[in-house]
């Protein structure tokens, strides 16, 4: 019998061993009482990690699809490891598909902020542009409805942001947060809801949410296919620079506020996607800092410590203009010298300085291409 406080959660975790070019599988145990982790190598029937406290792993990090760092290896949770864990966690880790529709894209920061404040976890996110066929496929249940044509014109009129949310009873909780379909009715019946606050009318109602767990599964597969090509991204690859909201800032729920600040300053966010960076990719991305910046190792560790949000930022002289807004790399210095910059406002220290931005003007496009042509493929 498991007693309160003595729970042990078990997952199957995989690690790609680059030297052996081989995926290793582990049983991963997490003891809630003291936050310790223990791991067994499944194939070799060997203890891999004796019961050890790992400061960076919290109970909320335990869900299928997440990646955690153990002894500088990136472990990916691929399944529950026992029935107890499945029974205890699966209802708390329900998933749904949400989407910011074209009419509310200028409010993306506020909406993402609200999602985090309401306690939903964003586990995937991507800005996309749907064509008519795709929109029809997405809204197939509305075939024959009188409003279908208007709806298809509307959702293909500009980019959308699709996201996977995770949480307890997430499907119904997100529907509740949205409010009634018609924004006018939402304003009278649920004035705090997203559609009341950000929607315009019956069609332009700011956001979408799956109406059941089976729709959620279908709609998640539509935007985030488990295999096969993903949706067309919206990156333009002109007049651009790269911004990455670092994992510590995403974890602290600051992504929405950072996005709002960027938009308020007049920059265009023409592409936005959540990534779980592999160590080898983080090293490659930060290559220019290797041997130059003392914090290189810690920067790589930070960038791989959880999901980050990469953006294509567009403006005139985008790299220089955006760099100005980001501020000095050390948030302490930024708070003294440039108190209105992103790092002054949202940074913690030199490594956890809220955002990465491109340093050299000629690298703006290259960094954007790294995320949205190379990693995003
Ligand atoms: P919901 O998005 O709340 O699940 P539906 O699935 O019924 O609502 O409809 C899908 C979308 O079609 C709505 O969010 C809205 O954008 C649009 N829509 C629904 N009903 C109407 C209507 N009567 N007139 C115009 N547009 C509508
Ligand atoms: Mg619906």
What's the CATH fold of domain 240-375? Alpha-Beta Plaits (3.30.70)
pLDDT band at 357 (very low <50, low <70, confident <90, very high): very high
212: Cβ below 6 Å to ligand 1? no
Residue boundaries of the structural domains of the chain: 2-89, 94-223, 240-375
- Select from 3.30.460.10, 3.30.365.10, 2.30.29.170, 2.160.20.10 the CATH code of 2-89: 2.30.29.170
Considering only residues 74 and 347, tell me which one the structure prediction assigns the higher pLDDT: 347
Which of these ranges, 47-56, 181-190, 317-326, has the smallest mean pLDDT? Answer: 47-56
**Of 112, 135, 95, whose CA–CA distance to 272 is shortest?**
112
pLDDT band per the 50, 70, 90 thresholds, residue 120: very high
- Ligand 1, atom 26: nearest CA belongs to which residue? 203
Instruction: Assess contact for 271 and 233: CB atoms under 8 A.
Output: yes
CA 316 to CA 267: how far, in whole Å? 9
Q: Which helix (H) or strand (E) holds 310?
A: strand 308-314
pLDDT of res. 1: 44
| Domain 94-223 CATH (choose: 3.40.50.720, 3.40.50.300, 3.30.70.141, 3.40.50.970) | 3.30.70.141
Give the pLDDT mean for 344-367.
96
> Average pLDDT, stretch 349-355?
97
Greater confidence (231 vs 164) lies with: 164
Q: What is the Cα–Cα distance from 269 to 68, expressed in whole angstroms?
A: 29
Angle among Cα 371, 338, 369 to the nearest 5 degrees reads 10
- pLDDT (mean) for 272-291: 93
**Region 321-346: what's the mean pLDDT?**
98
Mutational pocket test of ligand 1: of 154, 178, 181, 189, the residue with most ligand atoms within 8 Å of the beta carbon: 181
Predicted pLDDT of residue 238: 97
- Asked if domains 2-89 and 94-223 share a fold, the reply is no
Active-site annotation, residues: 208, 356
Pocket of ligand 1 contains residue 147 by CB under 6 Å: yes
pLDDT band at 4 (very low <50, low <70, confident <90, very high): low
Alpha-carbon distances of 75 from 13, 14, 57, 258, 336, rounded to whole Å = 6, 5, 12, 28, 39
Q: Is the CB of 56 under 6 A from ligand 1?
A: no
Q: What is the pLDDT of residues 229-281, one digit of tens each?
A: 788 899 999 999 999 999 999 999 999 999 999 999 999 999 999 999 988 99
Query: If you write DSSP's letter for every residue of 149-177 in order, what string do you get?
Result: HHHHHHHTSS-EEEEEEEETTHHHHHHHH
| CA 163 distance to own-chain centroid | 8
| Burial class, 279, CB count within 10 angstroms (exposed 0-12 / middle 13-18 / buried 19+) | middle
Q: Candidates 96, 142, 147, 201: which one to mutate for ligand 1, based on the most atoms within 8 Å of Cβ?
A: 147
């Amino acid at each position: 019998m498991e007693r309160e406080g003595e729970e042990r959660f078990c997952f199957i975790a995989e690690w790609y061993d680059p030297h052996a070019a081989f995926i290793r599988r582990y049983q991963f145990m997490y003891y809630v009482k003291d936050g310790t982790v223990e791991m067994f190598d499944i194939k070799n029937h060997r203890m891999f990690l004796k019961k050890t406290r790992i400061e960076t792993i919290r109970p909320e990090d335990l869900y299928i699809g997440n990646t955690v760092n153990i002894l500088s290896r990136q472990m990916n949770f691929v399944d529950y490891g026992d029935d107890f864990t499945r029974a205890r966690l699966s209802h708390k880790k329900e998933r749904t598909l949400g989407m910011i529709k074209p009419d509310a894209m200028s409010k993306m920061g506020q909406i993402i902020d609200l999602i985090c404040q309401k306690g939903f976890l964003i586990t995937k996110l991507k800005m996309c542009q749907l064509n008519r066929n795709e929109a029809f496929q997405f809204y197939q249940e509305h075939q024959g409805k009188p409003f279908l044509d208007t709806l298809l014109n509307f959702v293909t009129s500009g980019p959308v942001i699709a996201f996977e949310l995770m949480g307890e009873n997430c499907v119904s909780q997100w529907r509740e947060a949205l409010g009634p379909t018609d924004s006018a009715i939402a304003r009278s019946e649920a004035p705090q809801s997203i559609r009341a606050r950000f929607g315009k009318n019956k069609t332009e109602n700011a956001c979408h949410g799956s109406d059941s767990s089976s729709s959620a599964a279908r709609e998640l597969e539509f935007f985030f296919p488990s295999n096969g090509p993903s949706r067309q991204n919206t990156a333009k690859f002109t007049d651009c620079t790269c911004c990455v909201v670092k994992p510590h800032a995403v974890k602290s729920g600051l992504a929405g506020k950072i996005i709002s600040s960027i938009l308020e300053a007049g920059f265009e966010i023409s592409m936005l996607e959540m990534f779980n960076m592999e160590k080898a990719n983080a090293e490659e991305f930060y290559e220019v800092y290797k041997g130059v910046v003392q914090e290189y190792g810690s920067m790589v560790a930070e960038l791989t410590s959880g999901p980050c949000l990469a953006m294509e930022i567009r403006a005139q002289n985008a790299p220089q203009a955006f760099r100005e807004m980001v501020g000095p790399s050390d948030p302490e210095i930024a708070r003294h010298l440039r108190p209105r910059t992103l790092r002054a406002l949202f940074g913690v220290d030199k490594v956890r300085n809220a955002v990465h931005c491109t340093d050299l003007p000629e690298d703006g496009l290259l960094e954007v291409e790294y995320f949205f042509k190379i990693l995003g493929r």
